[in-house]
Structure 1
Amino acid sequence: MDLSALVKAYDVRGVVPDQFDENIARALGAAFVDVVEAERIVTAHDMRESGPGLARAFAQGAMQRGASVVEAGLGSTDMLYFASGHLALPGAMFTASHNPAQYNGIKMCRAGAVAIGQDTGLAEVRERAGAYLDGEIPQSVGAVADVERVDLLSAYAEYLRGLVDLSGIRALTVVVDAGNGMGGYTVPAVLGDAALTALPLQIVPLYFELDGTFPNHEANPLEPANLVDLQRKVVEVGADIGLAFDGDADRCFVVDADGAAVSPSAITALVATRELAKSPGSAIIHNLITSHAVPEIVAEHGGRPVRTRVGHSFIKAEMARENAVFGGEHSAHYYFRDFWFADTGMLAAMHVLAALGEQPRSLAEITAEYSRYVASGEINSTVDDQAGRVEAIRTVFADRAVEVDELDGLTVELSDGSWFNLRASNTEPLLRLNVEGSTDQVMAATRDEALAVIRG
């Protein structure tokens, strides 16, 4: 069976049950165990209705191939990474992140939260699972596989609080929009009433009820429309900061006291300076779509900026190669050496809360230091001929290009100081455009010209 439409560049994602069902999950579980050569694995799932059944089918496939399964049950994606690191086990997280309710998927990792992508085992998992679906999953002989259920929420929360101490900061009012996703489960444990130590935080919850149908808005804070409720509530209650998590709570977006969204690039630069203060001279990973301000600020603080392509499996691999202390993406994925080089929106949020609460200034005043340029944000265009449109862009801007590279899609530095990246989505039939310039006018001119070519 051909699973190429389901198994993407760095995860599994598809519509349930049309593209992804329990039979496929069972085959993927068996193939996963074969590829990572595991005797024991850990699984978790988010709040989507299909999650428990898919996770259990995956476990059944794993057990057929002789691996025991630790079921962590309900959790965020960074909780699964914690489980993989804490227990030193390969892991599988059942989530479709910010995708609509009818989707589900799997993010897989080796022991220690080491990411598995297309070039690091996922293609082999896909091929092996397809073969099992065409035939049958052979029963492992001699191995005694069992299921153990564990609750790791309190251990996860305690670990994060050990990395960033919030007990001594000034009192802050924090609005948190969980989008009916897993932030509604993890935030109370880490920052709220369930915390083992009293923190000077007043949490104002929005949509903490776990509901995989997302009745209030999509759990995708990258879309400005999904931040509107948070922005309104922050201003309404006079909060110091707003936080928005995506569906599986591995990404975190930040809103200041005026209700303005803070660029993930500014958050990357802010957290980078904090981590460099603890680990001087360390590498900091930034993907090629983050603001040019990030490598500039990293270098100014004595760090070593390392540019990489987009995608969590690529960034995690680069984090490990460089022993980087921190990494950030434009999409609000933040990676930490102290967290097995994996991404955790919660830890990034805690760093921002600490930076805000350790001094008297507002968040807008703090982040202004890290915001040097004007960015378009990611603009998606559905096109029939992706390669053709990219070549058309290359031709149109050729006479003004100062530098061109193809690390990930097409990145063009222009003579007016602006730059853009155009790349094809790994999961959807889209071209993604990101533009940055020294002023609104410079950015807008480049953006509008590029979009006119892309959209024909």
Structure 2
Amino acid sequence: MVSKLSNETIDLYECFKAYDVRGVVGQSLNAEAVEAIGAAFVDVLTLDGQDVFIGGDMRPSSMTFAQAFARGATQRGANVVMLGLISTDVLYFATGKHQNAGVVFTASHNPGQYNGIKMAKSGARPVSSDNGLFEIRDLAQDYLDKGLPAANGRPRGNISELDVLSDYAAYLRELVDLSKIRPLKLVIDAGNGMGGLTTPAVLGDALLPGLPLDIVPLYFELDGTFPNHPANPLEPENLVDLQTAVVEHGADLGLAFDGDADRCFVIDERGMPLSPSAITALVSVREIVRVKGEGEEQPVIIHNLITSKAVPEFVEKAGGIAVMTRVGHSFIKAEMAVQGAVFGGEHSAHYYFRDFYNADTGMLAAMHVLAALGGQDLPLSELGKEFEPYVATGEINSKVEDKTEAIDRVLKHFADRPVEVTNMDGTTVAATDGSWWFNLRPSNTEPFLRFNGEGSTAEIIEPIRDKVLAIVRSSTN
């Protein structure tokens, strides 16, 4: 006996990516598909009889999808615990504290017509293409096409509710004490995303006693149609409102969260952004000093290969060990666990903490910045300057059909130069004197070749950038 889900044809290969699920609502993802995914999630991870957490962001379809997932999960014997509206890092907190698997419905920074699923095993361990995500996809597709199988004596799970926001907020405040910093004025742009819920809980006085923070809220209304600007602070145009507000209000700094509030971007008092590499270096030094004070001799910091070379330099200067990984949260989290690392950072503003179950949380990184700034008298522009000694190009995409051929052409151009070439996650070319480097990394899902570079000065790196891009783009079709 099977329970047929739908006559509609949904191809889950369109929305299952390497690290999560993401697609256009009604086209590559609908409630019937989500129900099948919920059932497959339980079966593949053998969660029958166990609690499974389910939450969602503010997108119009998130709660509908959460309920559909719950139907599929309970039919396969899991006990569902509904967390309600949550950010992605609240899910990680819940799965870490309670040691249960869970999912959050979100499409992060994507436009409102998208939704998706981020999954975690117990202890906030990631579910990716390396450890079960594609098996869930394949089984869910089978269930979607053929129907959910009968329970065969397996009792249907029950559904309960749990509010974890208060515990999440209290836990973060335990990790970084902001009660004694100097008073700070900050503008926070939530982009109509989940930062509008988590900021008042953690940094405001909605659930806990107030902190010496004067917060100017920008777009705190939860609205998954994103009426003001896309909730993607990685794009400079989406920071303009925050930059303007910081200057107009005479604020000490600005913070911008993406749609599911797991990433945080920082603006100084002049309205200028601090790079995620600078934040990675700043937080790394703070965490190294803290754990060395607790007796840890050589704390490990993880960073991906696109972060500034200043990151390992600051780590080693502070007495830590820097370990480089490929780009991507599953690689970072896996290496965090293997190395017992205290902290990890990526150029995309994902920040990972051992004390947060090796998971990423933009809010905790923001609290470290507030603690560093509020613990001394310099403005953020001066404090941040120390951690940005080099000039970075940022990520630049070129549409290229034959990515391998384009990289070969670039390597041929630099063949007679004093350079070193490495092949971790794309191709990195670095001057032997340390004055510049660049990386060309093919996208796995789009016809893009991604360029990132850095130099001792703008005069050094800009001609390198322009030459490499000219070579790459001359080979486009």
Q: TM-score, normalised by structure 2?
A: 0.93
Look at both structures and tell me which one has the larger radius of gyration over its CA atoms.
2
- Say whether 1:405 aligns with 2:433: no
| Matching residue of 1:292 | 309
Deviation, structure 1 residue 2: 5.0
Residue 394 of structure 1 and its aligned partner are, at CA, apart by 2.8
Inter-partner Cα distance in structure 1 for 2:403 and 2:134:
23
Q: Tell me what 2:251 maps to.
A: 239
Q: Matched residue of 1:400: which SS?
A: coil
Task: Give the AA of the match of 2:124.
Answer: A
Please, which of 60, 65, 73 is the counterpart of residue 54 of structure 1?
A: 65
> Which residue of structure 1 aligns with residue 176 of structure 2?
164
Alignment of 1:108-127 (within 5 A): 108-127=119-138
Residues 205 and 427 (structure 1), Cα distance of their counterparts in 2 relative to 1, 3 Å cut = farther
Which whole-Å CA distance do the structure 2 matches of 1:275 and 1:426 have between them?
Answer: 33
In 2, the alpha carbon distance for the partners of 1:92 and 1:139 equals 24
Instruction: Note closer, same or farther for the CA distance 1:387–1:105 as it changes in structure 2 (3 Å cut).
Output: farther
Q: Could you tell me which residue of structure 1 aligns to residue 295 of structure 2?
A: none
| Counterpart residue number, 1:370 | 387
Moved segments of 4+, more than 3 Å: 426-429
Equivalences for residues 184-195 of structure 1 within 5 A: 184-195=196-207
Instruction: Give me the identity figure in percent.
Output: 61
- State the distance in 2 between where 1:373 and 1:161 align: 33
Give the AA of the match of 1:211. Answer: D
Q: In the superposition, relative to structure 1, how do residues 123 and 362 fare at CA in structure 2: closer, same or farther (>3 Å)?
A: same
* Corresponding residue for residue 217 of structure 1: 229
Give yes or no for the alignment of 1:449 onto 2:460: no
Equivalent position of 1:354 in the other structure: 371
Q: Matched residue pairs, number?
A: 456
Equivalent-residue separation in structure 2 for 1:139 and 1:184 (angstroms): 42
Classify 1:235/1:412 alpha carbon distance in 2 versus 1 (closer, same or farther; 3 Å). Answer: same
Which one of 193, 199, 207 corresponds to residue 181 of structure 1? Answer: 193
Among 9, 13, 17, the alignment partner of 1:8 is 17
In the TM superposition, residue 363 of structure 1 has moved relative to its aligned partner by 0.8
Q: Tell me the secondary structure at the aligned position of residue 210 of structure 1.
A: coil
In the TM superposition, residue 157 of structure 1 has moved relative to its aligned partner by 0.6
Given residue 220 of structure 2, which amino acid in structure 1 is its aligned partner?
F
Unmatched segments (≥5 aa) in structure 2: 1-9, 293-297
The AA in structure 2 aligned to 1:435 is G
TM-score (structure 1 length as normaliser): 0.97
Of 387, 392, 396, 2:413 maps to: 396
The one-letter code matched in structure 1 to 2:441 is: R
The amino acid across from 1:148 in the alignment is S
More displaced 10-residue stretch of structure 1: 142-151 or 220-229? 142-151
Residue 21 of structure 1: aligned partner? 30
Secondary structure of the 1:31 match is: helix
| Aligned-partner SS, 2:123 | coil
Instruction: Specify the SS of the correspondent of 1:390.
Output: helix
Residue range with higher mean Cα deviation, 383-392 or 350-359: 383-392
Match for residue 451 of structure 2? Answer: 433
Show the 5 A alignment for 1:56-95. Answer: 56-95=67-106
Deviation at 1:201, TM superposition (A): 0.2
Q: 1:382 aligns with which of 399, 411, 420?
A: 399
The answer to which of 277-286 and 237-246 deviates more is 277-286
> Does the 8 Å contact 2:75/2:156 carry over to 1?
no
Contact persistence 1:64–1:138 (CA under 8 A): no
The residue matched to 2:147 in structure 1 has which SS? coil
Counterpart CA distance in 1 for 2:412 and 2:366 is 42
Instruction: Spell out the pairing of 1:130-145 with structure 2 (5 A cutoff).
Output: 130-140=141-151, 141-145=153-157
Report the Cα offset of residue 339 of structure 1: 0.3
Q: Which residue of 2 aligns with 1:274?
A: 286
Alignment match, 2:51: 40
User: 1:232: how far off?
Assistant: 0.6
1:162 corresponds to which letter in structure 2? Answer: E
Contact 1:101–1:212 under 8 Å retained in 2: yes
Deviations 1:172-210 (A, max 9, x none): 001000011110110011111314122000000001111
Change (3 A) 1:60 1:397: farther
CA drift of 1:40 comes to: 1.9
What letter matches 1:159 in structure 2?
Y
User: Cα 1:103–1:387, aligned 2, differ >3 Å: closer, same or farther?
Assistant: farther
Q: Where does structure 1 lack aligned partners over 5 or more consecutive residues?
A: none
Q: Which residue of 1 is the match for residue 167 of structure 2?
A: 155
Contact 2:53 2:102 in 1 (8 A): yes
Aligned partners of 2:111, 2:30: CA distance in 1, in Å?
16
**Residue 331 (structure 1) aligns with:** 348
- The whole-number CA distance in structure 1 between the counterparts of 2:180 and 2:343 is 24
